Chains A and B, each alone.
Chain A
Amino acid sequence: MPEIKVTPLGAGQDVGRSCILVSIAGKNVMLDCGMHMGYNDDRRFPDFSYITQNGRLTDFLDCVIISHFHLDHCGALPYFSEMVGYDGPIYMTHPTKAICPILLEDYRKITVDKKGETNFFTSQMIKDCMKKVVAVHLHQTVQVDEELEIKAYYAGHVLGAAMFQIKVGCESVVYTGDYNMTPDRHLGAAWIDKCRPDLLISESTYATTIRDSKRCRERDFLKKVHETVERGGKVLIPVFALGRAQELCILLETFWERMNLKAPIYFSTGLTEKANHYYKLFITWTNQKIRKTFVQRNMFEFKHIKAFDRAFADNPGPMVVFATPGMLHAGQSLQIFRKWAGNEKNMVIMPGYCVQGTVGHKILSGQRKLEMEGRQILEVKMQVEYMSFSAHADAKGIMQLIRQAEPRNVLLVHGEAKKMEFLKQKIEQEFHVNCYMPANGETTTILTNPSIPVDISLGLLKREAAIGPVPDAKKPKLMHGTLLMKDNSFRLVSPEQALKELGLAEHQLRFTCRVHIQDPRKEHETVLRVYNHLKGVLKDYSVQHLPDGSITVESILIQATAHSEDQGTKVLLVSWTYQDEELGSYLTALLKKGLPQSTA
Chain B
Amino acid sequence: MAAHLKKRVYEEFTKVVQQQHEDLSTKKLRLTKPSKSAALHVDLCKATSPADALQYLLQFARKPVEVESVEGVVRILLEHYYKENDASVRLKIASLLGLLSKTAGFSPDCIMDDAINTLQNEKSHQVLAQLLDTLLVIGTKLPENPSVRMRLVEVACKHLTDSSHGVRNKCLQLIGCLGPVEKGVAKEAESQAAKDVQKIIGDHFNDQDPRVRTAAIKAMLQLHERGLKLQQAIYSQACKLLADDYEQVRSAAVQLIWVLSQLYPESIVPIPSSNEEIRLVDDAFGKICHMVSDGSWVVRVQAAKLLGSMQQVSSHFLEQTLDKKLMSDLRRKRTAHERAKELYSSGEFSSGRKWGDDAPKEEIDTGAVNLIESGACGAFVHGLEDEMYEVRIAAVEALCMLAQSSPSFAEKCLDFLVDMFNDEIEEVRLQSIHTMRKISHNITLREDQLDTVLAVLEDSSRDIREALHELLCCTNVSTKEGIHLALVELLKNLTKYPTDRESIWKCLKFLGSRHPTLVLPLVPELLSTHPFFDTPEPDMDDPAYIAVLVLIFNAAKSCPTMPALFSDHTFRHYAYLRDSLSHLVPALRLPGRKLVSSPVSPSITPHEDPSQQFLHQSLERVYNLQHLDPQGIQELLEFTIRDLQRLGELQSELAGMADFTATYLQCQLLLIKALQEKLWNVAAPLYLKQNALASAAAKQILEETYKMEFMYSGVESRQVVIIHHMRLQAKALQLIVTARTTRGAEPLFGMCEKFLQEVDSFQRCFISELPHMQGSFVDKLLDLMPRLVTSKPSEVVKILQTTLRQSTFLHLPLPEQLHRATANIIEPTGESDNPLRFTSGLVVALDVDATLEHVQDPQGTVKVQVLYPDGQAQLIHPKPADFRNPGPGRHRLITQVYLSHTAWTEPCQIEVRLLLAYNSNRSKASSRIPKSTWSESLEALPPSENGIEGTIPFSKPVKVYIMPKPARR
Q: Report the minimum CB–CB distance from A115 to chain B (whole Å).
A: 31
Asked if B806 CB lies within 8 Å of chain A CBs, one says no
Shortest A26–chain B CB gap in Å is 29
Residues of B contacting A426 with CB < 8 Å? Answer: 369, 371
Query: Could you mark each residue 452-469 of chain B with 1 if its beta carbon is under 8 Å from any beta carbon of chain A, else 0?
Result: 100100111100000000
Q: Which chain A residues (180-228) contact chain B, with CB distance < 8 Å?
A: 182-183, 185, 188-189, 191-194, 208-220, 222-224, 226
Minimum Cβ distance to chain B for residue A233 (Å) = 12
A193 contacts B295, C-beta separation under 8 Å:
yes
On whether the beta carbons of B387 and A403 are closer than 8 Å, the reply is no
At the interface, yes or no: B326 with Cβ under 8 Å from chain A? yes
Q: Which of A367-411 contact B (CB under 8 A)?
A: 383-386, 395-396, 399-400, 403-404
Residues of B close to A422: CB separation below 8 A: 330, 366
- Flag whether A365 is at the interface (Cβ < 8 A): yes
Instruction: Using A209-B328, A287-B387, A474-B206 as known contacts, say yes or no to A399 and B372 having CB atoms under 8 A apart.
Output: yes
A-B residue pairs in contact (CB < 8 Å), sample of 16 = A183-B385, A189-B387, A213-B336, A215-B422, A218-B422, A222-B422, A258-B460, A288-B389, A289-B425, A384-B355, A399-B372, A404-B295, A422-B330, A425-B366, A430-B372, A473-B206
B293 at the A interface (CB under 8 A): yes
B371 near A194: Cβ-Cβ < 8 Å:
no
The reply on B325 being an interface residue by CB < 8 A is: yes
Q: Which 4 A-B pairs have the closest CB atoms?
A: A216-B336, A183-B387, A215-B419, A259-B458
A212 touches B335 (CB 8 A): yes
Q: Using A185-B424, A216-B419, A289-B424 as known contacts, say yes or no to A257 and B371 having CB atoms under 8 A apart.
A: no
- CA of A378 to CA of B761 in the docked complex: distance in angstroms? 95
Cβ of B161 within 8 Å of any chain A Cβ, yes or no, is yes
Cβ of B148 within 8 Å of any chain A Cβ, yes or no, is no
| Binary flags per residue of A537-553, CB closer than 8 Å to B gives 1, else 0 | 00000000000000000
Contacts of A212 in B (CB 8 A): 324, 326, 333, 335-336
Given A219-B422, A287-B387, A399-B371, 19 more contacts at CB 8 Å? A194-B295, A208-B327, A210-B325, A210-B327, A212-B333, A213-B335, A213-B336, A214-B385, A216-B335, A218-B422, A222-B422, A224-B352, A258-B460, A289-B389, A365-B355, A386-B353, A400-B293, A419-B330, A426-B369
In contact, B496 and A260 (Cβ under 8 angstroms): yes
Q: Whose C-beta in chain A lies nearest to the C-beta of B327?
A: A210
A213 lies within 8 A of B385 (CB): yes
The distance from the CB of B858 to the nearest CB of chain A, in whole angstroms, is 26
Pair B295/A216 contact, Cβ less than 8 Å: no
Contact of B782 with A by CB under 8 A? no
Interface residues of B in 396-439 (CB under 8 A from A): 419-420, 422-425
A332 interface hit (Cβ, 8 Å): no
Cα-based distance from A386 to B352 in the complex (angstroms): 11
B interface bracket (residues with beta carbon within 8 Å of A)? 35 or more
Most A Cβ at <10 Å: residue of B387, B388, B424? B424
B424→A385 contact, CB < 8 A: no
Identify which of residues 293-334 in chain B touch chain A, using a CB-to-CB cut-off of 8 Å: 293, 295, 324-330, 333
Residue B245, interface by CB 8 Å: yes
A349 to B422, CA, bound (A): 20
| Bound complex: CA A404 to CA B372 (Å) | 12
B653: chain A residues at CB < 8 Å are none
Given contacts A216-B336, A422-B366, A473-B208, A260 and B458 within 8 Å (CB-CB): yes
Q: A366 contacts the other chain (Cβ, under 8 Å)?
A: yes
- A220→B353 contact, CB < 8 A: yes
A392 CB to closest chain B CB (Å) equals 13
Closest to A182 in B: B385
Within 8 A of B (CB), among A410-425: 419, 422, 425
Q: Which of B208, B324, B353, B372 has the most CB of A within 10 A?
A: B372
Docked-complex contact A223 and B455, CB < 8 angstroms: yes
What are the residues of chain A within 8 A of B387 when measuring CB–CB?
Answer: 183, 188-189, 287-288
CA distance A470 to B162 in the complex (A): 11
Q: Tell me if A208 and B329 are in contact (CB < 8 A).
A: yes
Q: How far is the CA of A287 from the CA of B458 in the complex (A)?
A: 26
Q: Known: A209-B327, A212-B335, A258-B459. Is A366-B355 also a contact (CB below 8 A)? A: yes
- Does B607 sit within 8 A of A, measured CB to CB? no
Question: Contacting A220 at CB < 8 Å: which of B324, B336, B385?
Answer: B336
* Bound Cα distance A426, B368 (Å): 10
A298 at the interface (CB under 8 A from B): no
Closest B residue to A194 by beta carbon equals B245
- B904-946 vs A, Cβ < 8 Å mask (1 yes, 0 no): 0000000000000000000000000000000000000000000
B386 in contact (CB, < 8 A): yes
Contacts of B458 in A (CB 8 A): 258-260
A254 at the interface (CB under 8 A from B): yes
Give B464 Cβ to nearest chain A Cβ, in Å: 8
B530: which A residues are within 8 A, CB to CB? none
Q: Does A254 lie within 8 Å of B424, measured CB to CB? A: yes
Query: With an 8 A cutoff between CB atoms, is A595 at the interface?
Result: no
Give the size range of A's interface with the partner. 35 or more
Q: Are A385 and B352 in contact (CB under 8 A)?
A: yes
Q: Which residues of A does B touch, CB under 8 Å?
A: 182-183, 185, 188-189, 191-194, 208-220, 222-224, 226, 254, 257-260, 287-289, 364-366, 383-386, 395-396, 399-400, 403-404, 419, 422, 425-426, 430, 470, 473-474
Per-residue A-contact encoding for B40-72, CB less than 8 Å = 1, 0 else? 000000000000000000000000000000000
Give the residues in chain B near A287, CB-CB below 8 Å.
387
Q: Is B207 an interface residue (CB 8 A)?
A: yes
Q: Does B30 contact A (CB under 8 A)?
A: no
Write out the residue numbers on chain B whose beta carbons fall within 8 Å of the beta carbon of A209.
Answer: 327-329
- Report how far A425 CA is from B425 CA in the complex, Å: 39
B469 → A minimal CB distance (Å)? 17
Residues of the B chain whose Cβ atoms lie less than 8 Å from the Cβ of A399: 371-372
Minimum CB–CB distance from A247 to chain B (whole Å) comes to 11
Report the bound CA distance from A470 to B295 in whole Å: 36
Min CB–CB distance A417 → chain B (angstroms) = 13
How far is B424's CA from A260's CA once the two chains are assembled, in angstroms? 15
| A599–B557 alpha-carbon span in the complex (Å) | 104
User: In whole angstroms, how far apart are the Cα atoms of A479 and B372 in the complex?
Assistant: 42
**In the complex, what distance in Å separates the CA atom of A260 from the CA atom of B459?**
7
Kindly report which residue of chain A lies nearest to residue B290, judged by CB atoms: A403
In the complex the two chains form, what is the Cα distance from A194 to B354 in whole Å?
Answer: 43
Residues B350-387 near A (CB distance < 8 A): 352-356, 366, 369, 371-372, 381, 384-387
B425 partner residues in chain A, CB cutoff 8 A? 289
- Residue from A208, A257, A288 within 8 A of B328 (CB atoms): A208
Which residues from chain A contact B385 at a C-beta distance below 8 Å? 182-183, 213-215
**Nearest residue in B to A211 (C-beta to C-beta)?**
B326
Contacts of A183 in B (CB 8 A): 385-387
Cβ contact within 8 Å between B422 and A259 = no
Q: Are A208 and B330 in contact (CB under 8 A)?
A: yes
- B330-354 residues at the A interface, CB under 8 angstroms: 330, 333, 335-337, 352-354
State the CA gap A191–B559 with chains docked (Å): 59
The answer on a CB contact under 8 Å between B295 and A366 is no
State the CA gap A189–B422 with chains docked (Å): 19
Separation of A89 and B455 alpha carbons in the complex (Å): 53
On whether the beta carbons of A403 and B161 are closer than 8 Å, the reply is no
What distance in Å separates the Cβ of B381 from its nearest Cβ neighbour in chain A? 7
- Least distance between B114 CB and chain A CB atoms (Å): 29
A257/B419 in contact, CB under 8 A: no
Is the beta-carbon distance between B355 and A217 smaller than 8 angstroms? no
Among candidates A208, A219, A470, residue contacting B161 with C-beta atoms closer than 8 Å = A470
In the complex, chain A residues whose CB is within 8 Å of the CB of B352: 224, 383, 385
Given the complex, which residues of B lie within 8 Å of A254, measured CB to CB? Answer: 424
Q: Which of B612-653 contact A (CB under 8 A)?
A: none
Name the CB-closest residue of B to A215.
B419
| List of B residues within 8 angstroms of A386 by Cβ | 353, 355-356
Nearest opposing residue in chain B for A208, CB measure: B330
CA distance A404 to B381 in the complex (A): 18
Residues of A contacting B208 with CB < 8 Å? 473
Give the distance in Å from the alpha carbon of A260 to the alpha carbon of B500 in the complex.
15
Contact (Cβ within 8 A) B460 A260: yes
How many angstroms between the C-alpha atoms of A229 and B55 in the bound complex? 73
